[in-house]
Amino acid sequence: MTLPMVVPDQDLPPRVRIHEVGARDGLQNEKSTVPTEVKAEFVRRLADAGLTTIEATSFVHPKWVPQLADAEQLFPRISDLPVDLPVLVPNERGLDRALALGARRVAVFASATESFAKANLNRTVDEALAMFEPVVGRAKAEGGHVRGYLSMCFGDPWEGAVPVAQVVRVCRALVDMGCDELSLGDTIGVATPGHVSALLTELNEAGVPTTSLGVHFHDTYGQALANTLAALRHGVTTVDASAGGLGGCPYAKSATGNLATEDLVWMLQGLGIDTGVDLGRLVATSVWMADHLGRPSPSRTVRALSHQEQ
């Protein structure tokens, strides 16, 4: 298999942790619901490819996201894997469901804009934060690890460009609540590298440590890799990506797939940055999943490397 030539860049971190979201952000947006056995096999293959943080599913209302309504059936089938399997929980009901299955890594998901808070959580921004407060408190008291997602950090389909100060305020609230890490979401993929840089600089100045930040780029306008590189230059070492570029968001119609994990791994390998991921196994997994979904992966790297094998 072709691999990129390695030319390290001394200004970048030596290692990046990939937070794989294909099984959650990817599959939540599929028109058809993928059978539980196929999801379990997908997560197992991702672990086998070397991914160590694999977001597994969401304990949300099944009517809101029917594609993930099998969370109770899926989680026990994969919980033996020696990897972190974070799950999304919007409220205490979701947390109860996750804790009952032994999940200890959870993620709440806030919005920087009122429109998306309403569409995604049926709450205002501040009502959603109030809903998360007991979730974070109880998860931490159980010895858990809490990620705080923040959606619409750059642009919003209803409100347009999102002021940086608005994003910083909600980030601060999530950190003050006790979240261990934040993930900055470009839910509809409109960010460009200068905007990413500006937000990271403001967050730094507001006292949010870069070490607690991850980035979550959707690739609608083909900017996800460029935005990732801008974030790495700021010292970010956690990057969300989705195998094969699966993804989107059911409550933000203009969102397309996440940054493809394969495209990310190709770039990081070329930069000499360690991820622990076996690119060949990952590509094979995405080709296998694309067959199940009945359409080719949108990832350029998956296409290039799988065509080579034929």
Q: Which residues bind Mg ion (CB under 5 A)?
A: 25
Binding track, positions 92-111, relative to ligand HMG; x by CB under 6 A:
-xx--x-----------x--
Which window, 84-92, 156-164, 267-275, 301-309, contacts ligand HMG (CB under 6 A)? 84-92
Among 228, 262, 230, 226, which Cα is nearest to 244's? 262
Q: Is there binding between residue 75 and ligand HMG (CB under 6 A)?
A: no
Q: Is there binding between residue 90 and ligand HMG (CB under 6 A)?
A: yes
Q: How far apart are CA 49 and CA 278, in angstroms?
A: 5
**Minimum distance from CB of 309 to ligand HMG (Å)?**
31
Cβ proximity to ligand HMG, 191 vs 273, nearer residue: 191
Among 113, 111, 66, 115, which Cα is nearest to 90's? 111
Q: Is there binding between residue 65 and ligand HMG (CB under 6 A)?
A: yes
- The option from Mg ion, ligand HMG, none interacting with 248 (CB < 5 to 8 A, set by class) reads none
Q: Is there binding between residue 223 and ligand HMG (CB under 6 A)?
A: no
Out of 153, 171, 179, 249, pick the active-site residue.
249
Q: Is 249 a catalytic residue?
A: yes
Q: How far is CA 121 from CA 91, 132, 189, 233, in A?
A: 10, 11, 20, 33
Give the helix ranges, DSSP H, for the chain: 36-48, 71-78, 92-100, 114-121, 125-141, 164-177, 193-205, 224-233, 261-270, 279-293, 300-309
Cβ proximity to ligand HMG, 26 vs 262, nearer residue: 26
Question: In which order are the strands placed within the sheet that holds 57-58?
Answer: 53-54, 17-20, 238-241, 213-217, 181-186, 145-151, 105-111, 87-88, 57-58
Which window, 53-61, 192-200, 259-267, 275-283, contacts ligand HMG (CB under 6 A)? 53-61
* CB neighbour list of residue 117: distance below 8 Å, 6 or more residues apart: 110, 111, 123, 124, 125, 127, 128
**Minimum distance from CB of 38 to ligand HMG (Å)?**
20
Q: Is there binding between residue 151 and ligand HMG (CB under 6 A)?
A: yes
Cβ proximity of 87 and 57 under 8 Å: yes
Residues that bind ligand HMG (CB under 6 A): 25, 28, 58-61, 64-65, 88, 90-91, 93-94, 97, 109, 120-122, 149, 151, 185, 187, 216, 218, 249, 251
* Residues marked as catalytic: 249
